[in-house]
A and B are shown apart, each in its own frame.
Chain A
Amino acid sequence: MLLCNLISIAIRVGAPRIVPTRGIPFPTGDPELVPEEERLLRRRLLERALEALGTAVEAPTVFDAPETPSGGGSAASSAATTAADSAATKAGAS
C-alpha cells in the first residue's frame, strides 16, 4: 500500500490503498511534533497501513489519516480526510 501526500496523483495512477501523510518531505513523520509524538504518529500511520492492507478494495481507496497525537496538525488531518473523501468519490466514478 502507499503512504503519500499527493493524494490526487496517487488516485490518478491507480494506487489501490492510500493513506495520506503530513508532508512531502516526511511521509512517516512530522518535524512539527516532539519526538515521542512523532514516533506515535508514525506508529499510527503504520497501523493504518496494516488496516488498509487488510481491507478488500476494488478501486483506489483513501483511508483516513490517523488522529493527531496532540495540538497542531489536526486541521491538516481533517483537511486530508475531506480531500480524500471527495477524491475517493471521484475515484469510484473513474
Chain B
Amino acid sequence: MSATRVRDDEQGSRTGLRLLIHDVVEIGVGAQTGFAGGRLTVGEREATALFAHPSLASVRVSCCSPGESVRIIKVLDAVEPRCKGDGGDVFPGLLGTAQLRGRGETHVLRGAAVLSAGFLPRAQEAVFQMSGAGAEFSPLSGTHNVVIEFEPAPDAAWQDVAAALRLGVLRLAVHLAQAAVDAAPDSIEELEPLSSESSGLPRVAAVTNIQTQGAFKDVLVYGRSMAGSLPTWIDPCELADGAVVSAQYGHPALKNPTFVHQNNPVVAALRASDEVELAGVILCPEPVSEKEKRLVSEHAARLCAALGLDGAIVTKEGGGNADGDVALKLDALEDIGILAVGLFAEMAGRDGTAPGLVVAPARATALISTGNYDELVALGATDRALGGERLGIIDAAAADELELPIAAIYGSLNPLGWNRVTCAVEA
C-alpha cells in the first residue's frame, strides 16, 4: 500500500471516503501533542485546555496501553481519534455545524481511543482492564487509551457537565488525529460509494437501532436526538465521519460507544465480504412503547423493501426492552421476504440454563449470540485504577480483585458485534 499524500485538488473527484490510517503503537502524556513513528504524545496542557468550560472544574489526562496493569472504572464514552484532511469537521452538529459528511479524506489514529471516566447520573458503572484475568472481555484492552477523568464544577447541572465532557472528548479526538495529518499513512482504506445499481450480489444493509430515551440515555445523529423519528437511511461513510455520537451511559456490556458507531462492525464485516453488496445503514430509534416500536419496525421493513434489499442484519442498544425492537424488525422483515439476522445478548441466568431471550422473535430464527449477560467474570487485581477510587456496583477498591457479572464489563457483549464473546453449550 503506497503511502502517498493526496493533493487537495484530487479529493473532489472521488465520491467515496478515503481513510488514511495511522497505526498507534505507543502512547504517553507529554509537553506537546505529537505523532511520529507510531508514537502518540498527548500534550497535557493542550488536552486539558479543550475541556475549559464553566461546568467542569478540572480534568486529568492519563494514558494506558495494552498489557499494563491498569483498570478503568466508571467508563463513559470511547471515541476514535479522527479528523478531516481538509480541515473540515468530523462529528458534525457537535463540533461545528451539522453539514453532511462522509466524503473526501479522513485521518484515523488506529489502535487508540479517547475515553471519559467518572460519575454521571443514570450511568451504569462500567469496568474493564488492560491486563490480567478478565481483560480479554473488553475490546478496549487492546487499544492505547487516553483517559479523561473530571471534576464537575460546583452547582453545575449534570446535563451541562455531560455535554461539556462530551464536547471536550470529541475535540481531543480531533486534536490528536490532527497530529498525524502530515505523516505518511500506514494504510489507506477506500470506502467506496454505495451503488444503486445491482452488482448481482445479494444486497444487505445494517439496521442499527439506537437508544433514544432522553437525558444520559440518548444517541445523537448530526448532533440531534432521533427520539420520535421514523427510521432513516444513512450512508455508512457519514458514520465514519462521526455523524452518530453516543450520549448514552447505561448498559456497560450492551452499549454502543461512539467508537463503535465510527467503526460500525456490521458495516465493516459486510464491506469485507465479497459475497454481499453493502446497501447502507438504516438508523432506527428505539421507542419505549409497544405501538411505537411496531410502527418504527414495520416502517424500517418497508424502507428496506424500497431499497431492494435481500437481507438485513439487525442490532440494538440496551437490554430486554431493546430486544423487542430487534424481534419486531426481524419478524417484519421476514414477513415481507427480506431475510434477517439479529444480534442478541442472552439473559440465561448465572448457570446459563434459563431461556436466553426476554423477547424473542416469533418467526425469524437466525440469531447471533453476543454472550450470556448474567455469567460471572473474575477480574484480577491491578496496580492502579482510573475513573475513581472505589466501585459503586459492589463495595470494593477500584483496583481490587473482583467477581462481577459480565454485564458490567465495558463493551463485552456489544450488540453491534464489536466483540468475540458468545454463549454456547460446553463441548
Residues of A participating in the B interface, judged by any CB pair closer than 8 Å: 8-9, 12
Residues of A within 8 A of B362 (CB): 8-9, 12
Could you list 4 A-B pairs, sorted by A, with CB under 8 Å?
A8-B362, A8-B363, A9-B362, A12-B362
Give the docked Cα–Cα distance between A12 and B331 (Å). Answer: 15
A interface SS class: helix
Give the docked Cα–Cα distance between A80 and B144 (Å). Answer: 59
Residues of A within 8 A of B363 (CB): 8
- How far is the CB of A72 from the nearest CB of chain B, in Å? 25
How many interface residues does B have (CB within 8 Å)?
Answer: 2
* Chain B residue with the shortest CB-CB distance to A9: B362
* Chain A residue with the shortest CB-CB distance to B360: A12
- How far is the CB of A79 from the nearest CB of chain B, in Å? 13
Nearest 4 A/B pairs, CB to CB: A8-B362, A8-B363, A12-B362, A9-B362
- How far is the CB of B402 from the nearest CB of chain A, in Å? 40
* Chain B residue with the shortest CB-CB distance to A12: B362
Give the docked Cα–Cα distance between A31 and B363 (Å). Answer: 30
Give the docked Cα–Cα distance between A9 and B361 (Å). Answer: 11
* Chain B residue with the shortest CB-CB distance to A8: B362
- How far is the CB of A83 from the nearest CB of chain B, in Å? 11
* Chain A residue with the shortest CB-CB distance to B363: A8
Chain B window 364-387, contacts with chain A (Cβ cutoff 8 Å), 1 for yes, 0 for no: 000000000000000000000000
Residues of B within 8 A of A8 (CB): 362-363
Residues of B within 8 A of A9 (CB): 362
Give the docked Cα–Cα distance between A8 and B365 (Å). Answer: 14
- How far is the CB of A88 from the nearest CB of chain B, in Å? 14
Residues of B within 8 A of A12 (CB): 362
Give the docked Cα–Cα distance between A8 and B363 (Å). Answer: 8
Give the docked Cα–Cα distance between A9 and B360 (Å). Answer: 12
Give the docked Cα–Cα distance between A12 and B363 (Å). Answer: 10
Give the docked Cα–Cα distance between A37 and B363 (Å). Answer: 35
- How far is the CB of A8 from the nearest CB of chain B, in Å? 6
Considering only residues 348-370 of chain B, those with a C-beta below 8 Å from chain A are 362-363
Give the docked Cα–Cα distance between A12 and B355 (Å). Answer: 15
* Chain B residue with the shortest CB-CB distance to A90: B363
Chain B window 199-217, contacts with chain A (Cβ cutoff 8 Å), 1 for yes, 0 for no: 0000000000000000000
- How far is the CB of B334 from the nearest CB of chain A, in Å? 12
* Chain A residue with the shortest CB-CB distance to B331: A8
Give the docked Cα–Cα distance between A85 and B363 (Å). Answer: 15
- How far is the CB of B64 from the nearest CB of chain A, in Å? 49
- How far is the CB of B143 from the nearest CB of chain A, in Å? 43
Give the docked Cα–Cα distance between A23 and B362 (Å). Answer: 19
Give the docked Cα–Cα distance between A12 and B361 (Å). Answer: 12
- How far is the CB of A94 from the nearest CB of chain B, in Å? 9
Give the docked Cα–Cα distance between A36 and B145 (Å). Answer: 77
Give the docked Cα–Cα distance between A50 and B362 (Å). Answer: 29
- How far is the CB of B418 from the nearest CB of chain A, in Å? 32
- How far is the CB of A71 from the nearest CB of chain B, in Å? 28
Give the docked Cα–Cα distance between A8 and B362 (Å). Answer: 8
Give the docked Cα–Cα distance between A9 and B362 (Å). Answer: 8
- How far is the CB of B24 from the nearest CB of chain A, in Å? 50
* Chain B residue with the shortest CB-CB distance to A6: B362
* Chain B residue with the shortest CB-CB distance to A86: B363
- How far is the CB of B328 from the nearest CB of chain A, in Å? 14
* Chain A residue with the shortest CB-CB distance to B362: A8
- How far is the CB of B364 from the nearest CB of chain A, in Å? 12
- How far is the CB of A86 from the nearest CB of chain B, in Å? 10
Give the docked Cα–Cα distance between A12 and B360 (Å). Answer: 12
- How far is the CB of A7 from the nearest CB of chain B, in Å? 11
* Chain B residue with the shortest CB-CB distance to A87: B363
- How far is the CB of A32 from the nearest CB of chain B, in Å? 25
